[in-house]
Structure 1
Amino acid sequence: MRTAVEFDDLEWLRRNDPGWRLLRADHAALVLAFLGRVFVEENIRSISATELAGRLTDDLQALNDRLGEGTFPRSAKAYLDDWAQPEVGWLRKYYPPGSDEVFFDATPAVERALAWVQSLRGRAFVGTESRLNIVLELLRQMVFGAETDPDVRLTELYARRAEIDAEIERVNAGEVELLEPAAQRDRYQQFVTTARGLLGDFREVEANFRALDRSLREQIATWNGSKGDLLDEVVGSRHSIAESDQGRTFHAFYDFLLSPQRQEEFSDLLAKVQQLDAIGDPDPRMRRIHYDWLDAAERTQATVRMLSEQLRRFLDDQVWLENRRVMDLLRSIESHAIALRDQPLGGLRHDIDANAPQITLPMERPLYRPRAKQALRSDADGDTGPVTLDVSALFDQVYVDPTRLRGTVRGELAGASQVSLPDLLARHPLEQGLAELVTYLSLRDPEFDVLFDEQRQEQVRWRDDDGRLRSAVLPAVSFVRGGAGPVAREVIER
């Protein structure tokens, strides 16, 4: 990993990097202040052009009133269009699927430039201990995680256990070591910096996914080989995106966000940290930072799904063009045949049985199936009286009331922000078997969302009317309050 920066690298960045171009702009303060407030502080990932232009108009009016008329003479729409130019690269201008209105999103260059500007501010408190602890812990994890000798690992684990046992003995003896206020502020400062940096990383990961998809489309457009080789290349490229280092770490972080236990632990720890006296005035944005992470991660996942769908349609268009080429060749052959049908053949003649060959593959032939023998009774006793039939089975139908199930879920979410399906069924067992389970999966309610995680699987058990134990293996299913952010409904969509 190269860390030194050469002159040529810096010169190239000065001429081509959007972040550097932003710092050199005449209105850099306006761009950083406005875009930083909307897209970074408020964590807006997509906003319509009308709303963004309205907010910028208010800011421009306030600045012109304070700094003098004509300080910013152009309209808000003109500024936004200028910032979204490809050669500028501060805003991404696009049309969402199913919408004819322009939307905007900030590029990673804006976040990088804003982070650099914020680092220029003087800090009254600069902590170093927490970062040193992080460095040591990272080194310990890398060395311990790469160790293949079981004896060395056991030695390390025994040493950790000895330290924990010694600390337990000190606490039992009344010797409780408290973290000093300066150390608490140091760690909180490092936590805020890391938490805010994660949101910027999500925007950069999304931009990287778009760049990978763009390069893949260029490869398809310029492909000269066979269709089979093209499909192998496309499938391999999409798989490489998910299996790359960036894809692996992103999915690992996303799995952490979808874990109810870890979310609950994180929320409890965050609430306790925000109440520490040594922190002083805590960052208000940290109260919902994990929900902001979830929104950003879900948007990144939605972007990957949308790119995959667009790629599939792109390949379908390629197939349609190839089929059209085949039809053009067939029409050319037919037109030549019609033009030559009246020409003398000079005795050349050939007859064919049909216009097209009939091909029957061996495996298309059905196997022999013996006919079922019907038993006929010819010894009827002549009784032609009325026959009584049991028609109760026609009325023994199962109806699952979704209103009752929605009430159960809302009751569970009254005291928690999220509940998993196994935990819900443990407190409210299934009464109508598989039909009730399927109804749970298809619930729709404005107060909560149904979230499916296909990366993990869970087993659900219940007993049927005969008392037999039944089970089903499903993707991890959770019910989340509607205010926790957008969630995927992949089971319903697929």
Structure 2
Amino acid sequence: MSAASRKMVWGRGPITLRDRPHEASVMSTLSQALTLTSLLESDATWRLLRADNAPIIVAILHTHLGGEERRLPSEEFYDRIEHDLEELRAHGFDLPLSAQGYCGEWRRAGFLTRRPDEESRGETFELSPAAHGALRMLDQLSAPRQTVTESRLASIAGQLAQLAVDSDPDTVRRLEQLYAQRDRLDARIEAINAGEADTIDPDRAIERVRDILSQAADIPTEFARVRAEFEALNADLRSRIVESDDSQRAVLDEVFRGVDLIADSDAGRSFAAFSTLVLDPEVGEAFDDDIRHVLDRDFADGLSSADRRFLRRFIGTLKEGSGEIHQVITAFARGLRRYVQSQDYQRDRVLRRHIRDALAAGIPAAARTKPYHPTELDLELSAVALGSGGAIRLHDPAELDAARPIRRHLAAVADLDRLRALARDTEIDFAELTANVNAALDDRGSCTVAEVLERFPATQGVASVVGLISLAASQGVRTDDVEIVRWPGPDGAGRLAEVPAYRFSGRVA
């Protein structure tokens, strides 16, 4: 080995990836493994797919929030889930929590989004973007669609060709490509006029419709994701206003000048372009006409009723979702402007400064004083105690009204016979039972409980039977047999039961 070689090995000289060709792939694998490990802990979609009760969670969320109803009031949502839980428990599923408990867990895990109801003082639940993605993935697993199709390739090729024309800076080439498109259109027009062009095969038409449905099914997920982006953007802008000092007033100054930072963001401009296209009357009318014509074709009979209903309502769904996002953007922009103009951010800055000072002072104090050490200080709270609004019960004067006239019962001399009857209703008449047993023993040398009841019916119903068995257990003899005892019920119908047999052999007291 040469000196240069020894220096390279022992001196740890420069080694390139060509010296170790597998190094690039190893680093790529390690990087992906670390990224996916972090994603495993932070991504709610993955968290839902690997949950212990994932099939139950997905089934409940898909049933109530994954169809045409995308948002439900909390109380109605609780009632529906409680009914589902009862049915699932009846089939052997171990579900210990209540509907409110599971909704709380799913909200904290990022599967549900809870928002105030704009039409009432309650709250609503809807699927989070992560839950939309998980339901979409599982839907594709349970009902896989063929993705390598002629329609999918034609769609990609058409978009790619259009992008090539629109992005070409050479006007000569752009004109050549446009002329070629016009020639192809002219050829198709001539063929149709000559009666030579046939319509598309029904199987291929169904394939294209299902490809369109597959792409359109992602729209609700996109709306939820866009709304989550605007919520995160609004929170980030408020945080920047509070955390910035007087030397970093960029966000604050722009809000004071009336700049709509929500609408002027990248997400806001992208959504504005989408919304303009959706709300265009000509586009909407043409879209509805195309859907109506497609559904009138013979091949549309191969579509399910749910698919046809989805296509008919698709443009309306787009407009409804777009309008909702517009309301969110407007509300966030107004709230941000009001937050700045009312000087509320100054109060939050002071509060943030006090919290940071307290945290900073707590670090050196932690070395001498434990967090649970009593301070012997009393703090009088100025605020009222918090409580649930559901615990408040309004006073209803009608509840104090007597439903029937009040009857007066005047005091009178007690009736001895009625008092005796009342005592018999509340206690077992052992004196009567003892006399019955002794009378039966006078007729025969021994008897059982059933034989006593045959001669002396149970005047107190089942209480007489219980009293006789108690007497037999204490003063009779247990046998290895069983016997049938009978007594009249409160409704007059006969009752019977199988009890251990006891025999009376001597008088009872």
TM-score bracket, normalised by the shorter chain, equals: 0.5 to 0.7
Counterpart residue type for residue 173 of structure 1: A
Matched, 1:171 2:192: yes
Give the alignment of 1:427-438 within 5 angstroms: none
Cα contact 1:216–1:234 (8 A) shared by 2? no
Counterpart residue type for residue 58 of structure 2: L
Matched, 1:308 2:333: yes
* Deviates most, 169-178 or 107-116: 169-178
Mark the runs of 5 or more structure 1 residues left unpaired by the alignment.
Answer: 326-494
Secondary structure of the equivalent of 2:217?
helix
Cα contact 2:40–2:47 (8 A) shared by 1? yes
* Deviates most, 111-120 or 149-158: 149-158
Partner of 1:7: 33
| Change beyond 3 A, Cα 1:143–1:80 | same
Q: Distance in 2 between matches of 1:219 and 1:320?
A: 10
Counterpart residue type for residue 89 of structure 1: G
Matched, 1:287 2:312: yes
Q: Distance in 1 between matches of 2:252 and 2:275?
A: 29
Partner of 1:55: 80
Partner of 1:31: 57
Cα contact 1:216–1:237 (8 A) shared by 2? no
Partner of 1:82: 105
Matched, 1:40 2:69: no
Partner of 2:95: 72
Secondary structure of the equivalent of 1:71?
coil
- Report the CA distance between 1:320 and its aligned residue: 7.9
| Change beyond 3 A, Cα 1:29–1:98 | same
Secondary structure of the equivalent of 1:103?
strand
Pick aligned residue for 2:282 from 261, 265, 288: 261
Secondary structure of the equivalent of 1:74?
coil
Pick aligned residue for 1:16 from 19, 39, 42: 42
Cα contact 2:65–2:72 (8 A) shared by 1? no
Partner of 1:102: 123
- Report the CA distance between 1:20 and its aligned residue: 0.6
| Change beyond 3 A, Cα 1:173–1:165 | same
| Change beyond 3 A, Cα 1:255–1:230 | closer
Give the alignment of 1:453-464 within 5 angstroms: none
Is the radius of gyration larger for structure 1 or structure 2?
A: 2
- Report the CA distance between 1:255 and its aligned residue: 1.4
| Change beyond 3 A, Cα 1:226–1:20 | same
Secondary structure of the equivalent of 2:263?
helix
Q: Distance in 1 between matches of 2:183 and 2:46?
A: 52
Normalised TM-score (structure 1): 0.59
Q: Distance in 2 between matches of 1:184 and 1:36?
A: 29
Partner of 2:153: 132
- Report the CA distance between 1:25 and its aligned residue: 1.0
- Report the CA distance between 1:111 and its aligned residue: 0.7
Cα contact 2:206–2:299 (8 A) shared by 1? yes
Q: Deviations over 1:25-51 (max 9, x none)?
A: 12212221222233331242x422111
Q: Deviations over 1:316-335 (max 9, x none)?
A: 3436847x99xxxxxxxxxx
Q: Distance in 2 between matches of 1:300 and 1:141?
A: 30
* Deviates most, 250-259 or 19-28: 250-259
Partner of 1:407: none
CA RMSD of aligned residues (A): 2.9
- Report the CA distance between 1:214 and its aligned residue: 0.9
Normalised TM-score (structure 2): 0.57
Pick aligned residue for 2:299 from 250, 253, 278: 278
| Change beyond 3 A, Cα 1:243–1:132 | farther
Cα contact 1:22–1:28 (8 A) shared by 2? yes
Cα contact 2:230–2:329 (8 A) shared by 1? yes
Q: Deviations over 1:65-93 (max 9, x none)?
A: 3x13x6323211111111112xx111122
The structure 1 segments of at least 4 consecutive aligned residues displaced by more than 4 Å after TM superposition are 96-99, 124-127, 233-241, 319-322
Q: Deviations over 1:380-434 (max 9, x none)?
A: xxxxxxxxxxxxxxxxxxxxxxxxxxxxxxxxxxxxxxxxxxxxxxxxxxxxxxx
Q: Distance in 1 between matches of 2:117 and 2:174?
A: 51
Q: Distance in 2 between matches of 1:312 and 1:276?
A: 52
Partner of 2:167: 146
Secondary structure of the equivalent of 1:286?
helix
Pick aligned residue for 1:185 from 177, 202, 206: 206
Cα contact 1:181–1:278 (8 A) shared by 2? yes
Q: Deviations over 1:282-302 (max 9, x none)?
A: 413222111111111111111
Counterpart residue type for residue 233 of structure 2: L
| Change beyond 3 A, Cα 1:226–1:317 | farther
Give the alignment of 1:90-489 within 5 angstroms: 90-96=111-117, 99-123=120-144, 128-226=149-247, 229-232=250-253, 234=255, 241-279=262-300, 280-282=302-304, 283=307, 284-318=309-343, 321=346
Cα contact 1:43–1:292 (8 A) shared by 2? no
Mark the runs of 5 or more structure 2 residues left unpaired by the alignment.
Answer: 1-27, 351-509
Cα contact 1:206–1:300 (8 A) shared by 2? yes
Counterpart residue type for residue 85 of structure 2: L
- Report the CA distance between 1:303 and its aligned residue: 0.9
Work out the percentage of aligned pairs sharing the same amino acid: 31
Counterpart residue type for residue 24 of structure 1: R
